[in-house]
Chains A and B, each alone.
Chain A
Amino acid sequence: MSETITITIDGKECTCEKGEYLYDVAKRNGIFIPVFCRHDAFEDHRACCRICIVEVEEGGRSKVVTSCVYPVERECNVQTRSEKIMEERSVIMALLAHRAPEAASFKPMVGRVGTVETDRLVTLDGEKCILCALCVQACNSLGTGAISTVNRGTEKMIDTPYGKESAACVGCLSCANVCPTGAIEYSEDDAVRTIWNREFELIRCGECGQIMGTRDSLALAAGNNEVPAVCDECRKKHMADEMMATYRYV
């Protein structure tokens, strides 16, 4: 049984386990903290968007921390909407909004978090990516590791090694699906999916004709390099039919 600690977030008493991340405690208690680069699917968080900053007062000292990776180790008083936090969050929001002006999905967040009213910031025309790198995390957790952050500083971007088609990529779309801003582009026709500069053969279910996925992703999922002949739904239907035929019930 791990130790429990009682902390105060925006005046509300919250109980948590020692070591729990501050963001999780706040969320459980219905306190809103904005996040972009954090996803429940992953245990580790990159803490790179920095929008989830809060002020923590511990032992008489106040500091700004990123709540998504800050472990609660002792009693503390947390302010998620102090003047300082609101100011700095609005600067971060303005920086992100100017970096990725086409990232439509987080426009509502600008209203909620605030921004800096100025015409002095430059925008990256046409950019959607906010470099949260959730796509990289998704790809890595599948064990494929086909994409990564490349370059450094203001030139940083997400790409395959040397921008070439990656032998490791299986075209599964996990990266595109986890992307919060729709920044990863791909296209599909009847037989081919194109993503990260590479074309993948699409496999259809031998029975219903639905797209099951790319040949590479199905082989990876099967683990034995064999591509299933039918989709999951059709396979289940077969099993049900067979059981019905044998036992007369399912």
Chain B
Amino acid sequence: MINGTDKILVCCGTSCIANGALDVADAIEAELRARNLGESVEVQVTRTGCSGECEQGPIVRLMPRDTMYYRVKVADAAAIVDSLEGELATKLLYKRDGETYEHMDDNPFYALQHKVVLKDVGIIDPLSLDDYRARGGYEGLKKALEMTPEQIIDEVEKSGLRGKGGAGFPTGRKWRSAASYDEWPHYIVCNGDEGDPGAFMDGSTMEGSPHAVIEGMIIGALAICAEEGVLYIRDEYALARDHIQHAIDDAYAAGILGESIMGTKHKLDLSIVRGGGAFVCGESTALMASIEGRVGEPRAKYIRSVQRGLFDHPTVLNNVETLASIPTILREGAEAYARIGTEGSKGTKVFAMVGKVKHTGLVEVPMGTTLRTLIYDIGGGIIDDRPFKAIQTGGPSGGCIPESLLDLPVDFDTLTEYGAMMGSGGMIVMDDRSCMVEVARYYVDFLCEESCGKCTPCREGLRQMRAILTDICEGRGKPGDIELLERICHTMEDASLCALGRTAANPVLTTIKFFRDEYEAHINDKTCPAGVCAKLTQFAIEADVCTGCGMCSRACPAGAIAGERKQAHVIDPAKCIACGSCREACRFNAVLTERRPA
């Protein structure tokens, strides 16, 4: 319980666990026991959800003095316990651009963030209902229980909250619409099938603050008079599922769920449905088909789910992040929430920022923050200060945004106007060593496997685009390929059955739109300007620049690099597989890319 005494928070999000956080927590607890502090109420070790800067994990935070330690190892346990009263373990503090930061708020990674959805993530024990309640949890629900469904919907509408799964549909309007149908029962469903490559916003939210999602669902259920709800969580999110199930069980035990919500006449049952791991099941109607036990294919009907959704009944389907925003809106009031963000997009947005950015992780910022702020001020810029090339937003349905659009505010509408989109929140930062044709090919390849395959434009369009893009990447591109790709793309946009198919062309269309010269170089000159496409690229070492450190030859998986120590190294083109490992390894920029002769 949070009670103002010393606490040691150990981030136990998926990423930190992978880096050994559980062992670190055990070691700290053992250290406390060894010093007879373990039994005292003064110091508690709390295993929390994701603290955000995943790359720097495991992260340990001392409260209430708010000291944050990064890249903590088991051997650091003693130093951490020492620092409860004594000197700081300076070597574990956050360092950036020569500065050292002790507190979270000073740290530039967090300073520009505004946490609503993630406000408790990384602070509370996700398995503790008391922790959640101590920070205002279920206060929003209490308010909602004193309101009529109409009043709850009014409040959510006033907040300006829009669906954060990417589509941005106004949540209040969705609820109002579902509530209006006089056909019973109504259902509320939480979409936890997050599947965009590189995205982990919803997973981290469910792991770190499961009660927030559940509270949001209960409030939504009250608004639309639903007595049954389902959380559809993708199979790969085992930890999220465990935490949500734990939270559901605790909520039942505490009388928050079940026959009587907090002693009122309202009732609600929640259960988890495990997704089978299909990306397409994040699409609303495919998700519902999957819950019903049918093949996870979208349905081809011009009837919205709010009218006929799960089991053909009025259904509200909201994304995890949307639902986790609801408790704060009810507790703090719609006006407070609407003060955050831009005119058309209120509140905050959580992003999972990965790729060639110095500080990767989970960030939550007000809507309207620019991409430049995200990448440079929060993320610290590009690794090795290489030139920025593009940021891929919104996963396979999103687009690749070039440097010229970095100062646009990120919200639901602005990027769309420029032919890109914000999407669900996945962001992959790319430097000048990324080939945009290859990026398009990667996403098309991903979708070839993850489309449901039901309708012709999506299934066959993707198959043909994959073939054409592979040809272009391998030097077999022909004049007219770009135009053919565009024709297929436009047909997919208009004629595909579901949103996955209608947006599947985005990675191709945006890379053509913003990086057309790169396509043309591949097709006409048979070169890959970024030096990525192996069939078009060969590597060479600039003898004047090479220091003979040998990093490249150690990195080369093909044994193609030879050279004496402190002498310029040489690549044998006959052995070189053009993987680019040498270029990644070289710290002196001595590895050059050249056009591979046909």
Which A residues lie at the B interface, using CB under 8 A? 45-51, 53, 64-66, 69-71, 84, 87-88, 91-92, 95-96, 98-99, 116, 118, 120-122, 130-131, 148-149, 151-156
Contact = CB atoms under 8 A, between A and B. Distances in A.
A70 B303 CA distance: 9
B552 to A, nearest CB: 38
A92 B492 CA distance: 9
Given A88-B495, A92-B456, A131-B459, A152 B280 contact: yes
A47 B457 CA distance: 12
B297 interface: yes
A71 B280 CA distance: 25
A50 B295 contact: no
Contact of A50 (B297, B452, B455, B466): B455
Interface stretch (B46-54, B411-419, B483-491): B483-491
A91 B295 CA distance: 27
B167 interface: no
B494 A88 contact: yes
A153 B449 contact: yes
13 contacts: A49-B455, A53-B495, A69-B300, A87-B487, A88-B495, A92-B456, A92-B491, A120-B468, A120-B484, A122-B464, A154-B459, A156-B454, A156-B459
A47 B455 CA distance: 8
A207 B548 CA distance: 94
B487 A45 contact: no
Interface string B463-493: 1101110010000001011001001101100
A153 B466 CA distance: 12
Given A66-B300, A120-B484, A153-B459, A48 B454 contact: yes
A119 to B, nearest CB: 9
Contact of A92 (B278, B301, B495): B495
B302 interface: yes
B497 to A, nearest CB: 7
B31 interface: no
Given A48-B454, A50-B495, A95 B300 contact: no
Given A48-B454, A153-B447, A156-B454, A96 B460 contact: yes
Where chain B touches its partner, the secondary structure class is helix
Contacts of B302: 65, 69-71
Nearest to B462: A154
B449 A69 contact: no
Given A47-B497, A92-B491, A98-B460, 10 more contacts: A46-B454, A84-B494, A88-B495, A92-B457, A96-B456, A131-B453, A148-B295, A152-B450, A152-B451, A153-B452
Nearest to B460: A95
A46 B300 contact: yes
B461 interface: yes
A50 B457 CA distance: 7
A80 to B, nearest CB: 14
A88 B491 contact: yes
B456 A149 contact: no
Contacts of B488: 91, 95
B115 to A, nearest CB: 37
A121 B478 CA distance: 12
| Among A69, A98, A120, A131, residue most surrounded by chain B Cβ atoms (within 10 Å) | A120
B315 interface: no
Contacts of B456: 48-51, 92, 95-96, 99, 130-131
A152 B454 CA distance: 8
Which of B297, B301, B494, B497 counts the most chain A CB atoms within 10 A? B494
